[in-house]
A = this chain, B = another copy of it.
Amino acid sequence: MLTADVTAATAVRRGVIHLGRRLRQERPAHDVTLLQLGLLAELNDHGPLTPGQLAAAQRVQPQSLTRVLATLTSRGLLARAADPGDGRRSLLAITDGGREALRRDVDARDRWLAQAMADRLTGTEQELLRLAGELMDRLSTDKP
């Protein structure tokens, strides 16, 4: 047969969508939205990136980022510099303020999830879920 077990896919879809919603609700006081969180975390982990690279990393269209990037820049959470070699590009980097926001607000979301995992899953299940996270990220890319 061509396709794999659709039941497994259904379970994954359900889990992904529902946990995504739950995660989105978990917004601490000084709000940084979930998309903003992803962008800041990406820049924090992988140095300065162009808007296009960021969009690819986050699996969104570049147009979807323009406004969010403007917001984050105007709030001082990230800084924009012209690319020396290519005038079309700009390079985005996280600022100290951005790192602070990441630590304070943004990590709160991962802390909620970490806590929930600790409270309600066995060690084996936690490890399983970590691996699943990596697999899901891989699947979300179109590259084989």
Secondary structure at chain A's binding surface: helix, strand, loop or mixed?
helix
Contact check, B18 vs A113: say whether CB atoms are below 8 A apart.
no
Q: Which residue of B lies closest to A118 (CB)?
A: B4
Number of interface residues of A (CB under 8 A): 58
Complex: how many Å from CA A144 to CA B132? Answer: 21
Supposing A9-B111, A12-B113 touch, asked if A19 and B137 sit within 8 A by C-beta, the answer is yes
30 A-B pairs within 8 Å (CB atoms) are namely A3-B115, A4-B115, A5-B117, A5-B126, A5-B130, A6-B111, A8-B133, A9-B110, A11-B133, A12-B130, A12-B132, A13-B23, A13-B109, A14-B137, A15-B136, A15-B137, A15-B140, A16-B133, A17-B34, A17-B38, A18-B136, A18-B137, A19-B136, A20-B20, A21-B58, A21-B59, A113-B139, A121-B135, A128-B135, A132-B136
